Amino acid sequence: MCGIAGIFNLNGEPVSPVLLRKMTDAIAHRGPDGEGFYIDRFVGLGHRRLAIIDLTPAGHQPMITKDGQVALTYNGEIYNFQELRAELETLGHQFRSRTDSEVVLNAWLEWGTECVNRFNGMFAFAVWDKREQSLFLVRDRYGIKPFYYALWEQTFLFGSEQKAILVHSKARRELDKKTLLEYFTFQNIFTDHTLLENIKLSSAPGFPWTHI
């Protein structure tokens, strides 16, 4: 289990490193083995690491390509990552670690958004691609790895848990009564809503945010 968090200021305002750290600290229990931050003006990615496959610093996240054009914050496990790594190596990709995170990053470079169709596993991740000025967010098909998000005015926030979002000064802890009624009625929530107004749980395999 790792933790991811991030900010996308749609109005182009610089990301606050203090806020990004607060968001990541809020989910520190998900990753006791390290923390990492990446900021590119109006985009910020945070990560709390639980090292499992590769215990070395080579697995540090957010993980960034050698040319600095693409950054990844990832939580999950890709069961077929070794097969994908072998395929990517035949296509000319080089690896510095033994992690499945680096396989995800190189798969993005090779196949773009279609890379998710090749993953067999559980995952939630965000990719910031400076070349396209786009932020791509995705979680596995069954939602095994959680992905919460909120859009308040011109600020888009996401995280592995709601508490990462709630540290923002614009956060509102208002009960979503309709969702609460849905839960009491069916003992489940069938939509992308949560018990808090304006915070949603991703119910779609992937969704892009592009800065224009």
Catalytic one of 2, 4, 5, 64: 2
Pairwise CA distance, residues 16 & 20, whole Å: 6
Give catalytic status of residue 2 as yes or no: yes
- The number of beta carbons lying within 10 Å of the beta carbon of residue 166 is 18
Q: How far apart are CA 28 and CA 34, in angstroms?
A: 9
Looking at the annotation, which residues are catalytic?
2
